[in-house]
């Protein structure tokens, strides 16, 4: 029964995506200001096909905004893309993923190198600065990697701190898995459904299609002005704190962070 569900979902997902891609190419070429209409249409319906429902709370800020969100999966892009019109920042490896890489490029994703070398960081900062200079809305995952889902890793500042963002606002966003097949996730294995850690994409996506329903909550939190037109250390810390509070993570204990990091190291792939 599960295999039949997986086959049906995958077939419908591939057919739908193949039909949408040329439409998106045409819209982007002749009417780029409306490209988000097609993107949001794909995100919403792709999630629906996969059995993922999104509950969105809060109001999305208009105008020039940097959205800062916690990160628990490659699926976060579709989840946030179904409620927010903006460019995404993603690791460069996604560019080569089957089908998802094509979609990411069509959606003007900013690909960054997660290596900690000075050259990689400076190149990524330059790419982000270009997007901000052009006035685009941007969704960033400052943790730098996806986390288990029951904690938030410390936000990294090196990539974002002191980027010029004139007339921009910052808006924190939190993502939380509420239930999987009607049951609230509690253990590390439960949270595996959303694909945290360094996973093999295709085996995990296939496994994901076997679930009947996955319910996710997105909280659009209160926006604030960016300090002196620069995205500062304090701005990033403020967003992290607000996101933690929205997820009922009031205290950033070292044990929670250590558990998350150890779990990620122990689960290099999802079988």
pLDDT tens, residue by residue, 197-206? 566 778 888 8
Backbone angle region of 211, left / alpha / beta, with phi > 0 → left and psi within -120 to 50 → alpha: beta
For residue 120, the model assigns a pLDDT of 78
For residue 196, the model assigns a pLDDT of 57
Instruction: Name the more confident of 107 and 216.
Output: 216
Rounded to a whole number of angstroms, the distance between the first and last alpha carbons of the chain is: 19
- The Cα 116–Cα 159 span in angstroms is 10
Q: Is pLDDT above 80 for 251? A: no
152-163: string of b/e by CB count within 10 Å (b at 16+)?
bbebbbebbbeb
pLDDT band, very low/low/confident/very high, at 22 (cuts 50, 70, 90): very high
Give the C-alpha distances (Å, rounded to integers) separating 80 from 39, 83, 118, 254: 11, 5, 30, 28
Least trusted range by pLDDT, from 6-20, 70-84, 92-106: 92-106
CA 140, 21, 195: angle at the middle one, nearest 5? 45
Least trusted range by pLDDT, from 46-55, 159-168, 172-181, 212-221: 159-168
- The Cα 50–Cα 210 span in angstroms is 9
SS3 state at 59: coil
Instruction: Name the more confident of 220 and 157.
Output: 220
Q: Which two tokens stand for residue 14?
A: 């591939």
Task: State the average pLDDT for the chain.
Answer: 83
pLDDT tens, residue by residue, 148-188? 666 788 888 877 888 888 889 999 999 998 998 898 887 66
Domain range summary for the chain, segments of one domain joined by +: 51-249
Helix 2-30 and helix 35-50: axis angle, to 10°? Answer: 180
- The Cα 224–Cα 15 span in angstroms is 41
pLDDT band, very low/low/confident/very high, at 252 (cuts 50, 70, 90): very low
- The Cα 224–Cα 57 span in angstroms is 17
pLDDT tens, residue by residue, 90-142? 878 888 777 778 888 888 888 887 767 777 788 888 888 888 888 889 999 98
């Amino acid at each position: 029964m599960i295999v039949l569900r997986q086959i049906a979902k995958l077939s419908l997902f591939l057919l739908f995506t193949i039909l949408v891609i040329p439409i998106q190419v045409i819209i982007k070429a002749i009417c780029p200001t409306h490209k988000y209409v097609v993107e949001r249409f794909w995100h919403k319906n792709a999630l629906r096909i996969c059995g993922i429902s999104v509950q969105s709370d809060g109001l999305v800020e208009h105008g020039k905004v940097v959205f800062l969100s916690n990160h628990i999966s490659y699926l976060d892009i579709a989840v946030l893309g179904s409620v927010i019109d903006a460019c995404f920042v993603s690791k460069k490896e996604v560019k080569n993923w089957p089908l998802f890489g094509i979609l990411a490029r069509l959606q003007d994703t900013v690909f960054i190198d997660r290596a900690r070398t000075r050259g990689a960081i400076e190149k990524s900062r330059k790419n982000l600065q270009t997007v901000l200079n052009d006035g685009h809305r941007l969704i960033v995952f400052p943790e730098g990697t996806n986390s288990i889902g029951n904690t938030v890793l410390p936000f990294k500042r090196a990539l974002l701190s002191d980027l010029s963002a004139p007339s921009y606002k910052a808006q924190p966003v939190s993502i939380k898995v509420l239930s999987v097949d009607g049951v609230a996730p509690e253990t590390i294995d439960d949270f595996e459904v959303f694909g945290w850690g360094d996973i093999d994409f295709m085996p995990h996506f296939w496994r994901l299609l076997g679930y009947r329903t996955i319910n996710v909550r997105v909280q659009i939190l209160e926006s604030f002005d960016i300090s002196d037109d620069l995205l500062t250390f304090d701005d990033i810390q403020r967003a992290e704190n607000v996101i933690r509070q929205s997820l009922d993570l009031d205290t950033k204990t070292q044990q929670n962070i250590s558990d998350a990091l150890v779990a990620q190291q122990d689960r290099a792939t999802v079988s």
